[in-house]
Amino acid sequence: MRERLVIALAAIAALLLAYNLYHIFLVLPDEAAQGAIYRIIFFHVPAAITAFTGFFVTLVLSIMYLISGNLRYDSLAASVTEVGVVFACVNLVTGMIWARIIWGIWWTWDARLTSMLVCVLIYSGYLMLRRAIDEPTQRARLSAALSIFGFADVILVWKSIQWFRTQHPSPVLSIRTGGGNIDPAMEHMLYLNFLAILMIAAALVLVRTRQETMAREIDSLRRLANAA
């Protein structure tokens, strides 16, 4: 059942991506000042929103684990975080490549870029913490606490371009600005590509969760073998 769902998600995402890429390269108009490079936005922004969606889901799952003590929430939170970190890295790297052309520099320590880097470091720390602790309950409790505190940085990343004067462009999505900062056709494509990337992320989370279940089974069987 899970394998079928993964295949279905991946297939729909691939079809949607093919449709999106055709429109991104051949249908959408060029951006007047930036040339072809502006098209990076169609992966840069959706990758960030996918990562933030993942970190929000991790926050909810961590709270649910702390309330219920059910390790399934912890496993799911770990899977979602790992996939979230991958897409946060995609966001950072594509942003740097865009910046090299538009700003003339790969990196600047402004509030948006720095808080996003800190975000990647916090959630990478979450994954490293999990490797460092063997006892499942202690690992789950500390991971949940870290992800709850870590989410504060996600809010900082999201709001940084409104709270601080940054080199990073101001918000463009109409849900934040009320409209007028981006061509509606380009914004529509941003949401469509977010959907495709979110489906890829969901498929990866399903695969990763299966692995977490296997790891838990190995752990409990080892304990059983050692107890004998």
Partner 1 sequence: MLLSAMDTRNFTFMFYGFLAAWLIVLIYIVSLARRGARLKKELEQVRNLVSSKHP
Q: Binding residues for partner 1, per CB under 8 A?
A: 25-30, 34-37, 39-40, 43-44, 47, 83, 86, 89-90, 93-94, 97-98, 100-101, 200, 204, 207-208, 210-211, 214-215, 217-218, 221-222, 224-225, 228
Which CB atom, from 30 or from 149, has the smaller least distance to partner 1? 30
Radius of gyration of the CA atoms of the chain, in A: 20
| Nearest approach, Cβ of residue 163 and partner 1 (Å) | 27
Which CB atom, from 7 or from 97, has the smaller least distance to partner 1? 97
DSSP assignment of 158-226 equals HHHHHHS--SSPPP-SHHHH-S-SS-HHHHHHHHHHHHHHHHHHHHHHHHHHHHHHHHHHHHHHHHHHH
| Nearest approach, Cβ of residue 162 and partner 1 (Å) | 25
Contacts of 39 (CB under 8 A, 6+ apart): 24, 25, 28
Which residue, among 100, 108, 59, 110, has the nearest Cα to 80 in the 3D structure? 59
Whether 100 and 154 have beta carbons less than 8 Å apart is answered as no
Distance (Å, whole) CA 55 – CA 14: 24
| Nearest approach, Cβ of residue 219 and partner 1 (Å) | 9
Which CB atom, from 111 or from 197, has the smaller least distance to partner 1? 197
| Nearest approach, Cβ of residue 197 and partner 1 (Å) | 9
| Nearest approach, Cβ of residue 152 and partner 1 (Å) | 26
Give 72's strand partners.
none
- Three-class DSSP category at 31: strand
Which CB atom, from 198 or from 204, has the smaller least distance to partner 1? 204
| Nearest approach, Cβ of residue 220 and partner 1 (Å) | 9
Give 31's strand partners.
35
Reduced 3-state DSSP string for 123-162? HHHHHHHHHHCCCHHHHHHHHHHHHHHHHHHHHHHHHHHH
| Nearest approach, Cβ of residue 15 and partner 1 (Å) | 17
Which CB atom, from 37 or from 63, has the smaller least distance to partner 1? 37
Whether 102 and 37 have beta carbons less than 8 Å apart is answered as yes
Which CB atom, from 28 or from 148, has the smaller least distance to partner 1? 28
